[in-house]
Amino acid sequence: MVLVVAALLLYEDKILISRRNDEEGLWEFPGGKVEPCESPEAALKREMTEELGLEVAVGSLYYEVEYQYPQKDVRVLFYFCSADSCQVPHAKEGVAEWRIVEIYELEQFPFLAADNALIQHILQDRNFAGAAK
C-alpha cells in the first residue's frame, strides 16, 4: 500500500485544487507520496513546495481513505494546511494548472477516484471551513 498525503488549503470559504499534468488530466487535492523515513507532515510540506511553490504549515488530519486502483493500493491522508496569503501558487512539478474554487463547485471537476469520498464528506460537513481553524 502506498501512503499519500494531500493538502486541504482553504482561502476563506474556497479551496485550492490542482490538475495533474499527465494523460488523464484529473483534478486532485495537491500532495504526493510519502518517502521512506519521511513523516506525512514533512512529505506534504515538500510536495507543496515542489508542485505549487508554496510553503505551508501542516495542521490537523481531517480525513483518510484507502482506495484500490488497478495498478496500486493507496492510503490517502488529507490534512488541513495554511499558507501566508501573500504567497501565490505556481504550477510546477506534475501540475498543469491550479484553481481556488468554492466548496460547492468541487463536484463539477473530474477528480482522482480516491478523492471522491473526501469530496462527498466535505459537502456533507457543515462545519468543514470551521474545522480548519
Q: For the chain, which domains are there?
A: 2-131 (3.90.79.10)
Beta pairing partners, 81: 9, 58
Give yes or no for residue 12 having a pLDDT over 90. no
DSSP tag of 42: H
The single-letter code of the amino acid at 110 is: P
62 vs 38: CA distance, rounded Å: 20
The pTM score is 0.93
Q: In terms of Cα–Cα distance, which of 37, 46, 26, 23 is closest to 93?
A: 46
Mean per-residue pLDDT over the chain, rounded: 93
In the structure grid, which three cell numbers stand for residue 7, read together?
493538502
- pLDDT by residue (tens digit) across 26-64? 999 999 999 999 999 999 999 999 999 999 999 999 999
Cβ–Cβ under 8 Å, residues 75 and 5: no
